[in-house]
Structure 1
């Protein structure tokens, strides 16, 4: 046990230092300040919608102005794609320098960007994207462009990242929808005085980036500049329709009631719609918002829901408290009284006499206690006589005490259970690291893609923990081919995850979505898996199997397995798993609402109340431990010694209810359309629930294992 603790402490310290070294942003540091007249680059990222899981790179849309590649902005050339970290690539980011010119402190009432010609195919796609409520994400100084809102009491303003590509209007006369694209944006850059000496020298920091989109018709523009005559009084928007905007369609002249042949052609003779794009820029000082708290505007909604988070914690504490009381009764009264009553000391002659009564042959298949094994090593021959003679002061041997000779018998398919436990410990380490780093602010929205990148790094490094625990459990089960166990541990769970994602990637590729993982990234993931994680699994397995070895058991299994009596309905596997899973699910289901909303509805939003999440996770772990211990104790009391797999399944059983909760959330809360998007939702939900079940199942298994060893060790020690 000392070797275990030293090994874990050394590795945990090393990985923590490594993670902190790679984190590039902590609130209050890495401040970028600008002087008046300094150019500020603006980046295009992607478009997304809460009705689909497919995202697209904004710069690749056929109906927007492509970057010219000729403008130099703060050392960056427009049209240049930024190098992304692994997390950004996996989350579908595609960041490119745009042609928009932003100069600190200089307002621009209106500027012309370009005119983009779109064919019928491009218009059809634009209508589909607008109909699916797609939003665009632009970035300035690492802040996503946001749509501003006001709280219901009008006391505070808050941001929702992204802005609409366009809007849909229903034509009551034609009985069909009409689509308008937002071809003008008003950019409001909010700044604050730079902290420290930079502010004394007139430098400023950006604390807000607001985008106000608008649709402006193509007519009534200056032919020389392409700018609308009056930006404030626009009668019609830019409709995505060839007939509504056309002066020439396939060579046939078609005039509207208020059009003339001298007007600027919006559709040429080939049926191409020309969409003019313009923008305005305004800089406004924000005195109340500091640079270190600029992200708070995106989380006002989460702050307002703090009462619900406290309600979730209170709900979790009540459930966990009741379970704790049950476990305390089991440990403090029932088990302790069983252990004390199991043996009684007779000080006469300095010998220990066992005063027990054998169960009737009608009640138990075992007719004698000749095979009590290690539990009777210190008893003399006189104790055997007392078993049948002293009927007044004896206690009947029942329940978990009867199966002492079978409780540590190796389970069926132990060669699969051991790798699952090892992979579960790998996930425990990864999840703990992510929650801790998030609570300390190392992982935050400014570290774009950091949650995924650091999570993958922790998972790969934790391969050494996976190998260590898998090897020890494998050897405890009597395994000898530890190299084979290394291969299974290192490839089973990562291989299943990678294979599933690889197959899904084909469907996403077919949709030309930026969510599709590039082939080079897939090769990098395989390299991380086979060249780094697998060797670490080997090192951990070698240390756990060869150096440390198996866990010791207080009782050796009998040669002949004991017959298991007929079980009650509530102790059967399926019923126990379903009932036990409800309790951990009840602990976390309120907090799951916020997690799901952040993941599936607010695609550009961020879940940032990690303090509440950490508290709920701690209560969840305690609940899983207690539920598994109670379920294992009830199973042993029913004389069923097949607890190994049962404890693992009970620990992870709440994942079944979470998956059903995902299905309910899909049909009731979401508005996802399309086969591919629906498939992605359910497959990703299944993978997430499987990972969660593996993590909590491992915690339950180790808790039940420690519990069983403890109670049977106490009997042997008495």
Structure 2
């Protein structure tokens, strides 16, 4: 038996071929070149399939299509086999793989692509390459449009692994109707001393993401946390100590003196502060989703730090979806237990509402944008099978796990632990000064949390809209924790001011506080997006062609599907973080 096992291992070692999944190749083994997408350089989010332009494939047809992961499909990755014959360590001299006569329609498509600075993306052994479709020769009148027809691939290898790759576009052919164009390619293999685990470093930009201003922002935010925690502790301890002394003095007075006294402050609303909110089902669902989002954010960032997700396409989004589905019991436990403490009877409806709250909001916007993407044949269009897969995850994974969490929450923490009874008749809310109005307190309470994440948001948005890969997830984890601490400190102070003004509507203020407290970040996102749109608009109009409907929908769709859910998730995250802190603070 031992001999048979050894023989099988030897056979596997000698005859089983490596591929791009294990990144080990034998000499002469086929290397697959995948063509991904093509689109205007001015808008990274507008992409189409590479062969939507009248390029032609190579002569080989051994592989038809790449099977994308869930994350890749949602991000618009659309890999097609190039058909080029590339073998490990075998150079290929300049050779023609296709010849094409341009029709009138082909000519117009290439002219449109060159005029709008179309670029394309390719992958070889999971390493990306980029190139331009053509260039404009402005030295003549009218300008000539030239197409790059030659691709020179320079591939570096270290042992049995590919560690470096570069593509050079050459041979400029002037585009004319009916022109006969020859497409050629060339492969040059070179020995490289780059280690395999460091081959992706050339795509990163440490001078940008690890700039001194980035470190300074982290240090500044950390010092803000120390200052706020100390300030909140000092102010609340001294202020509450004085309040307790004043209330103790009032209790020592007789009834006549107490009636003539001027009672005011947070203790006057002790019989109303734990009153059930106006919409208990919605509030419980928001709290449960907030805990859920916060858990997903922390776990996903930690996984990104450990796994270096930036080296694999769509891995971060795939991991986030998996973590979101697996962490669904957190949603059910937090939302279900709170709804039970409110005395709610329709707990099944609350469980379903909480489970589908965030997925339905994001999917509804994505569905509308997807209709436009499908009509324009953009690669961002989500296939119907992926829609079914996402729906199946919601129905058969998220919903059952949320049910489990809800049942546990109702049985473990479903009993009310309020320290005092709620008055049968709501106490009237007295008039207060203008700077103690909930709307103003809520909005001003978002300034300091925004200041703690302002710089990091700039780097994140740059990775979305510019050609940079975000990889400093350690910074993101620190900023997330700093944001949570700063938000806690600020909102404790805001809650004290609200209750001290004898306004007990803090339950209704938590969702609004989270949403409006995210206002400065919301406007920063819109400012960043508006700047990008304005720049693209000026660039397009300078070439006598304004942005079309497809491009506007691509930009606004990315904003709607990416920026707005981020706003919502940030608000829900704040709700989840603050709700329990609020209750503990008020109970004390």
Normalised by the size of structure 2, how large is the TM-score? 0.88
**Residue deviations 1:632-690 (CA, integer Å, cap 9, x gap):** 11111111110112133223434322221122112324544432123214313222212
The structure 2 residue matched to 1:321, chosen from 226, 230, 234, is 226
Aligned-partner SS, 1:675: helix
- The change in CA–CA distance for 1:127 and 1:302 in structure 2 (over 3 A counts) is farther
Q: 1:95 aligns with which of 33, 55, 79?
A: 79
Farther-moved stretch of structure 1 (571-580 vs 404-413): 571-580
Which residue does 1:584 correspond to in 2? Answer: 449
Q: 1:178 to 1:658 in 2, by over 3 A?
A: farther
Instruction: Check 1:384–1:31 CA distance in 2 against 1; reply closer, same or farther (3 A cut).
Output: same
User: Does residue 239 of the first structure (1) align with residue 116 of the second (2)?
Assistant: no
The partner residue of 1:496 within 354, 361, 376 is: 361
Query: Residues of 2 paired with 1:425 and 1:452: CA distance?
Result: 19
Q: CA deviation at 1:399?
A: 1.4
2:509 maps to what in 1? 646
- Please tell me whether the aligned partners of residues 465 and 540 of structure 1 are also in contact (alpha carbons under 8 angstroms): yes
Distance 1:61 1:140 in 2: 20
Residue 599 and residue 122 in structure 1: after superposition, are their counterparts in 2 closer, same or farther (change >3 A)?
A: same
Quote the residue 1:83 is aligned against: 67
2:137 equivalent to 1:169: yes
**Structure 1 residue 678 corresponds to structure 2 residue 564:** no
Q: Give the Cα–Cα distance (whole angstroms) in 2 for the partners of residues 554 and 389 of structure 1.
A: 24
- Residue in 2 aligned with 1:375? none
Distance change >3 Å, CA 493–CA 105, structure 1 → 2: closer
Q: What are the superposed Cα offsets for residues 170-219 of structure 1, whole Å, 9 maximum, x if unpaired?
A: 35533xx5322221111111122xxxxxxxxxx332111111112x2xxx
Mapped partners of 2:416, 2:108: distance in 1:
65
Change over 3 Å in CA distance of 1:179–1:399 after alignment to 2: farther
The alpha carbon displacement at 1:304 in A equals: 6.4
Superposed, 1:516-535 pairs within 5 Å as 516-535=381-400
C-alpha separation in 2, matches of 1:45 and 1:696: 38
- Picking from 210, 231, 250, the partner of 1:356 is 250
User: In 1, are the aligned partners of 2:157 and 2:163 still within 8 Å (CA)?
Assistant: yes
Match of 1:611 in 2: 474
> Residue 433 of structure 1 corresponds to which residue in structure 2?
299
State which drifts further: 41-50 or 655-664: 41-50
Partner of 2:567: 689
> Per the alignment, in what secondary structure is the counterpart of residue 405 of structure 1?
coil
1:664 and 2:542 matched: no
Partner of 2:182: 276
Q: Counterpart of 1:270?
A: none
2:296·2:327 contact (CA, 8 Å) conserved in 1?
Answer: yes
Matched, 1:385 2:254: yes
Give SS of 1:424's match. helix
Matched, 1:419 2:285: yes
Residue in 1 aligned with 2:11? none
Report the alpha carbon displacement of residue 275 of structure 1 after superposing the two structures with TM: 2.4
CA deviation after TM superposition for structure 1 residue 387, in Å: 6.6
Q: Taking structure 1 as reference, are residues 131 and 587 closer, same or farther at Cα in structure 2, changes over 3 Å only?
A: farther
Q: Is the Cα contact below 8 Å between 1:652 and 1:697 reproduced in 2?
A: no
Q: Is residue 112 from structure 1 mapped to residue 103 from structure 2 by the alignment? A: no
* Paired residue secondary structure (2:345): coil
Shift of 1:431: 0.8
**Offset at 1:397?**
4.4
The CA distance in 1 between the partners of 2:411 and 2:421, in whole Å, is: 22
Take 1:458 and 1:447, find their aligned partners in 2: how far apart are those partners?
A: 17
Cα drift, residue 703 of structure 1:
2.2
Q: CA, structure 1 residues 129+579, in 2 after alignment: closer, same or farther (shift >3 Å)?
A: farther
Which residue does 1:308 correspond to in 2?
A: 213
Q: CA deviation at 1:337?
A: 3.6
Q: Against the structure 1 CA distance between its residues 172 and 188, is the aligned structure 2 distance closer, same or farther, given a 3 Å change threshold?
A: same
- Residues 138 and 575 of structure 1, relative CA distance in 2, 3 Å threshold: same
Shift of the 69–40 alpha-carbon distance from structure 1 to 2, 3 Å rule, reads: closer
2:266 to 384, 389, 400: 400
* 1:42 corresponds to: 33
Q: 2:167 pairs with 211, 218, 221, which one? A: 211
Counterpart of 2:277 in 1: which secondary structure?
coil
Equivalent position to 2:430, from 561, 565, 584: 565
Change (3 A) 1:324 1:548: closer
Q: Does 1:553 align with 2:418?
A: yes
Q: 1:340 to 1:119 in 2, by over 3 A?
A: farther
CA distance in 2, matches of 1:584, 1:127: 49
CA contact (8 A) 1:652 1:695 kept: no
Contact 1:422/1:468 (8 A) holds in 2? yes
2:123 is matched with: 139
Q: How far apart in 2 are the matches of 1:122 and 1:696?
A: 52
Return the alpha-carbon distance in structure 2 between the equivalents of residues 106 and 614 of structure 1. Answer: 45
For the aligned residues, what is the CA RMSD?
2.4
Aligned to 1:264: none
Q: What runs of 5+ residues in structure 2 fail to find an aligned partner?
A: 1-19, 537-546
Deviation at 1:49, TM superposition (A): 4.1
SS at match of 2:336: helix
Alpha-carbon deviation of 1:505? 0.7
- Residue 700 of structure 1, CA deviation: 2.4
CA distance in 2, matches of 1:389, 1:179: 90
Residues 339, 384 of structure 1: CA spacing in aligned structure 2 closer, same or farther, 3 A cutoff? closer
Name the CA distance, whole Å, in 1 between partners of 2:40 and 2:234.
51
* Deviation for aligned residue 1:601: 1.5
2:283 paired with 1:291: no
Q: Distance in 2 between matches of 1:296 and 1:387?
A: 78
1:114-263 residue pairs with structure 2 within 5 A? 114-145=98-129, 162-170=130-138, 173-174=141-142, 177-192=143-158, 203-214=159-170, 216=171, 237-242=172-177
Q: Matches of 1:655 and 1:407 in 2, distance apart?
A: 25
Secondary structure (helix, strand or coil) at the match of 2:204 reads helix
Pick which of 679-688 and 479-488 moved more: 679-688
Distance, in Å, in 1 between the alignment partners of 2:475 and 2:250 is 52
TM-score (norm 1): 0.73
The number of residues matched between the two structures is 553
Q: Does 1:333 align with 2:333?
A: no
CA offset at residue 69 of structure 1?
4.6
Whether the 8 Å CA contact 1:38–1:103 is kept in 2: the answer is yes
SS at match of 1:356: helix
Structure 1 residue 303, shift from structure 2 partner: 6.1
Q: 1:338 & 1:536 partners in 2: Cα distance?
A: 45
Q: Is the 8 A contact 1:37 1:106 kept in 2?
A: yes
CA distance in 1, matches of 2:487, 2:258: 45
Residues 362-398 of structure 1 deviation map (CA, whole Å, 9 limit, x = unaligned):
xxxxxxxxxxxxxxxxxxxxx563772999xxx9643
